[in-house]
Amino acid sequence: MNTSQDFSKHAIDAFIKIVIVGILLYLCFQILKPFILLVVWGAIIATALFPLMKGIETKVGLSQGKSSWLLSLVGVALLILPSYLIGDSLFSSAGDVYEQVQSGTLQLKPPSESIQDWPIIGEHLYATLLGFSVNLSNALIQHSEHVKDLLGTVIATVGSVGGSVLQFTISLLIAGVFMANAQACEKSFQQISVRLAGDYGAQFTQISVATVRSVVQGVIGVAITQSLMAGVGLYFADIPFAGLWMLAVLIVAIIQLPPILALIPALFFAWTTDTTLVAGIFTVWCVLVSASDAILKPMLMGRGTDIPMLVILLGAIGGMAMSGIVGLFVGAVVLAVTHRLFVAWLAQSEVENEQGDKAQPQKET
C-alpha cells in the first residue's frame, strides 16, 4: 500500500514539475520569438565567416574580438551602402518622373513594331505601349486601376526589401558577437549536443558546422557565378545599368529565387528596343543563367564534409520549401545529422551481429 501511495505521489510531483517546466519554456519561447530568426541568422553567418575572421586575425595581427567586429562592420557597410545608393537613385528618379508627368514634359520612346509579331499578346501590348508614348496623361487615366495596383506592388516590394536589409544588418552585428566569443559559444553548443546525444554530440557539432559552411559556399558561389554570367549577357546586349541588374541577380540568387525574375525588366527592354535576333539570343542566355544552378549547386555543395552531396542538396531544397531561406541551412543540417545517425546505427548493428557470431561457437564448445 505504501509503495502504491509513494508511486502516486512521485508521479503527481513529476507531472506538476513537467507542466511548470513546459509553461516556462513556452513563455520563454513567446518572449524570445521576435529575436529567434535574427539569432539563427547570426549563428549561420558567424559559422560561415569564422574561417575568414581567423585569417584576418592571423594576417593583420588583430585580436579575435577586433577581427570579428571589423568583419561584421565591413559586412554591414557592404550591405547598407549599395542599398542606400540604389534607394536614393530610385527615389530621385521617381521624383523626376513625377515632376515631368505633372508638367506634361515626360516623353516615352515609341515601342518597336516587331512587338506586334509576338504571339497572343503582341498587338494588344504594342497598342498599349504606343498609347503611353503618344499621350501619357490620357493613358495613365485610362489604365489608372492597373497603375495603382502596380505602384502598390512596387511600394510593398521596396518595404519588404528594406525590412530584409534591416534584418540582415542586425544579424551581422549578432554574428560579430558570436565570433568574438567563439570559444564560449562552441563550448555551450557542444555541452548541449553531448547532453542530448551523448558520445555523438561532439561529432554532430562538427557535422552541423561543416554542413552550414558547405551550404553557404554553394549558395554564395552559385549566386556570384550567375551574377557574372548575367553581366556578360547584359554587356553584349547593351542593356543600360548592367551593374544594377547584376546586383539584383546576385540578391535574387542568394535568396534562392530564379535569377530570371531580376532580369525580366532587362528582357522587356531588349525586346522593345533591340532587334529580334539580339533579344532572342539574350533571352536564351538569361534562361541558361537561371537554369545553371541545377549544374552548379551539385558541384559546390557538399565540399568540405564527408556527408554525401545528395543528402545536403536534398536537405537544403526540402528545408527551403518548408521554412524559407532559413530552412535552406536547417534542412541540410537536420538531414546530415540524421544521415550520420542512420550510418552509426547500421554500423552498430553490424558490430553486434559479428560479436554474436563469435560468441555462438564458444557456447557450442
CA 166/CA 41 separation, integer angstroms:
12
* Helix residue ranges per DSSP H, the chain: 2-60, 64-103, 122-134, 136-142, 144-180, 182-197, 201-236, 242-254, 260-273, 276-291, 293-300, 309-323, 325-364
Within a domain: 306: yes
CA 123/CA 116 separation, integer angstroms:
5
Q: What are the residues whose beta carbons fall under 8 Å from the beta carbon of 50, sequence distance 6 or more? A: 179, 182
Amino acid at residue number 292 = S
Within a domain: 325: yes
Within a domain: 55: no
For the chain, the domain total comes to 1
Within a domain: 36: no
Closest CA to 286 of 234, 221, 244: 234
CA 168/CA 42 separation, integer angstroms:
8
* pLDDT tens figures, 117-156: 767 777 777 777 777 776 666 766 676 677 677 777 777 7
Within a domain: 4: no
Structural domain including 272 reads: 183-344
Phi, psi of 4 (to 5 degrees): -65, -40
Within a domain: 3: no
Per-residue pLDDT of the chain (365 residues; tens, 9 = 90+): 466 667 677 788 888 989 999 999 999 989 988 888 888 888 888 888 888 888 888 888 888 888 888 888 988 887 788 777 777 777 777 777 677 666 666 666 677 677 777 677 777 777 777 777 766 667 666 766 776 777 777 777 777 777 777 888 888 898 888 888 888 888 888 888 888 777 777 777 787 888 887 777 777 788 888 989 998 988 888 888 788 788 888 877 877 778 888 888 888 888 877 777 888 888 899 999 988 887 887 777 766 667 787 888 788 878 877 777 777 778 888 888 888 878 877 877 666 666 666 665 555 55
